[in-house]
Structure 1
Amino acid sequence: MRGIPPARETDVSARAQRSAEDLLALARRGDGEAFRGLVEPYRRELQVHCYRILGSVQDAEDLLQETLLAAWRGIGGYEERASVRTWLYRIATNRCLNALRAGARRPPGYAAYQPEVPLPEPSHRRAEPSWLEPYPDVLLDEIADHMPGPEARYEVRESVSLAFLAALQQLPPRQRVVLVLRDVLGFRAAEVANILDTTENAVTSALKRARGALTHELPDPDWETAPLPNSPQERRIVAGFSRAFEAGDVDAIVAMLTNDAWLTMPPLPLEYQGRDAIRHFLATVALGNGYRHMLIPTRANGQPAFGVYLRDPRTPVLHAHGVLVLTLTDNRITALTRFHDNSLLTIFGLPRSLRV
Structure 2
Amino acid sequence: MGADTRLEELGMSGLGGTGVGKVDEPEFSELAKRHRRELHVHCYRMLGSFQDAEDTVQETFLRAWRRRETFEGRSTFRAWLYRIATNACLDLLAKRRPEPATGGEVLWLQPYPDRLLDELAADDVDEPETVAVARETIELAYVVAVQHLAPRPRAVLILRDVLGWPAKDVAELLGDSVNSVNSALQRARAGMREHLPAERQDWTGSDEDTRTRELVRRYTDASVAADISGIVTILRDDVRCSMPPTPGLYVGRDAVVNDWVESGFEGMTNLRAVPTSVNRQPAVAFYHRREREGAYLPLTIDVLRISGGAIAEIVTFHADQFPQLGLPDHLPPG
Same fold flag (TM > 0.5): yes
Aligned counterpart in structure 2 of residue 159 of structure 1, from 120, 125, 137: 137
In structure 2, give the amino acid aligned to 1:210.
A
> 2:246 is paired with a residue of what secondary structure?
coil
Q: Superposition pairs for residues 37-116 of structure 1, below 5 Å?
A: 37-103=30-96
1:146 and 1:98, CA in 2 relative to 1: closer, same or farther beyond 3 A?
Answer: farther
Measure the CA separation in 1 of the matches of 2:325 and 2:264: 22
Of stretches 287-296 and 208-217 in structure 1, the one that deviates more from structure 2 is: 287-296
1:38/1:335 CA distance change after superposition, 3 Å: same
- Kept after mapping to 2: 8 A contact 1:130/1:266: yes
Q: Helix, strand or coil: the match of 1:19? A: helix
- Mapped partners of 2:64, 2:3: distance in 1: 20
Tell me the TM-score normalised to structure 1 length: 0.81
2:8 counterpart of 1:21: yes
User: CA 1:227–1:234 in structure 2 vs 1: closer, same or farther (change >3 Å)?
Assistant: farther
Tell me the residue number matched to 2:224. Answer: 246
Which residue of structure 1 aligns with residue 16 of structure 2?
none
Contact 2:205 2:281 in 1 (8 A): no
Partner of residue 186, structure 1: 164
Residues 215-254 of structure 1 deviation map (CA, whole Å, 9 limit, x = unaligned): 1111124443516533333222222211111111111111
As a proportion of its length, which structure holds more helix?
2
What CA distance in whole angstroms lies between the structure 1 residues aligned with 2:92 and 2:3?
34
Match in the other structure for 1:351: 328
Write the mapping of 1:120-159 to structure 2, written as runs, cut at 5 A. Answer: 126=103, 129-143=106-120, 144=123, 145-148=125-128, 156-159=134-137
Q: In structure 1, which of residues 287, 300, 323 is the aligned counterpart of residue 301 of structure 2?
A: 323
Q: Which amino acid aligns with 2:103?
A: R
TM normalised by structure 2 equals 0.86
Which position in structure 1 is the counterpart of 2:286?
308
CA contact (8 A) 2:105 2:249 kept: no
Match of 1:234 among 212, 215, 218: 212
Does structure 1 conserve the Cα–Cα contact (< 8 Å) formed by 2:105 and 2:144?
no
Instruction: Report deviation, 1:199.
Output: 1.6
Q: Summarize the Cα distance change of 1:290–1:60 in structure 2 as closer, same or farther, 3 Å threshold.
A: closer
Residue by residue over 1:149-177, the C-alpha shift from the partner in whole angstroms, topping out at 9 and shown as x without a partner, is 9xx9x763421111111111111111111
Q: Which runs of 5+ in 2 are unaligned?
A: 13-18
Aligned length: 320
Q: In the alignment, which residue of structure 1 is the partner of 2:176?
A: 198
CA distance change for structure 1 residues 42 and 315 in 2, over 3 Å: closer, same or farther? closer
- Structure 1, unaligned runs of 5 or more: 1-12, 106-124
SS at match of 2:266: coil
Change (3 A) 1:338 1:165: same
